[in-house]
Amino acid sequence: MIVTLTNQKGGCGKSTTTMNLALGTAALNYKTALIDADEQKSCVETLEGHDKKNLDVFASDKDVDTLAKKIKDDYQFIFIDTPPHSHHIMYKAMAVSDFIIIPLQASPLDIKSAKRTIDACEQVMKKAKRTIPCYFLLNRVNPRTNLSKEIGAYIRELYTVPLLQSRLHNRVAYAQSLMHGKSVIEFNRSSDAALEIKKLLKEVHRIFQQGK
Ligand SMILES: Nc1ncnc2c1ncn2[C@@H]1O[C@H](COP(=O)(O)OP(=O)(O)O)[C@@H](O)[C@H]1O
Ligand SMILES: [Mg+2]
């Protein structure tokens, strides 16, 4: 299964979430790959020097699709982190994906600016003549507020793309754990951040299994 995290907007949590999902999946003993298709190489640099059981990290250039196809049969899960602003790489990554996650922050500006990403996703599906499950993921939600209903309604007004039930809150653990090259699960498996990443993993795996 190839999962791409994408959004043309920078800073919405693509790299942080990709690393946590890939490390979390590897911790569940699945053979996992992470392809870092962003030239900034945030994932490669963050995980460099850390020996990860069940996880291989690849840097890719614009030929992310070729690399993903080449290694596809060697892994149970492949997570692709994509750059902001590069339509070209985003298209290629989406085209080889079985699942697309669009992280976004719970603000009208971020939600509105996801339009370009959604349009690209629709074009990819049309061209490939197949439906790729594509979901929004709310990230950096303030744990002290409950905007969920309002945000959900706002998203539904603009898009047909559904919102994952799981959401990630704004937590220092996301930055802190990665400073040690660890996912929030490895860092403290009973923390709130670990629990929400496990919930997200379960939801993604469940949706994918149902769609098969
Ligand atoms: N759920 C979260 N809670 C707290 N900080 C977060 C969370 N998700 C991302 N961040 C922080 O937000 C910043 C941007 O995240 P990043 O993953 O680099 O986004 P992108 O890859 O989309 O540009 C980073 O400093 C990261 O540590
Ligand atoms: Mg990034």
pLDDT, tens digit, 9 for 90 and up, residues 150-167: 888 999 999 999 999 999
* Spatial separation of the C-alpha atoms in residues 94 and 134, rounded to whole Å: 10
3-state secondary structure 39-90: CCCHHHHHHCCCCCCCEEEEECCCCHHHHHHHHHHHCCEEEEECCCCCHHHH
pLDDT at 145: 77
Q: In angstroms, what is the C-alpha Rg of the chain?
A: 16
Tokens of 194: 């670990």
Q: Identify the residues whose C-beta falls under 6 Å from ligand 1.
A: 10-16, 42, 84, 139-140, 168, 170-171, 174-175
CB 97 within 8 A of CB 3: yes
User: Quick one: which atom of ligand 1 is closest to the CA of 9?
Assistant: 22
Q: Which residue has the tokens 């660890």?
A: 182
pLDDT at 54: 95
Q: How many CB atoms lie within 10 A of CB 8?
A: 21
Q: Phi and psi at residue 138, in whole multiples of 5°?
A: -75, 125
Read off the CATH number of the domain in which 194 is found: 3.40.50.300
Calculate how far, in angstroms, residue 155's C-alpha sits from the geometric centre of ligand 2: 23
- Taking the chain (212 residues) in runs of 10, the rounded mean pLDDT of each run is 96 97 93 96 92 92 94 97 92 96 94 95 94 95 81 93 95 95 93 97 90 70
pLDDT at 148: 74
Tokens of 126: 């049309």
Rounded to two decimals, the pTM is 0.96
Owning domain of residue 110: 2-210
CB 102 within 8 A of CB 134: yes
User: What is the tally of structural domains in the chain?
Assistant: 1
Coil vs helix vs strand at 147? coil
pLDDT at 52: 85
User: Quick one: which atom of ligand 1 is closest to the CA of 172?
Assistant: 4
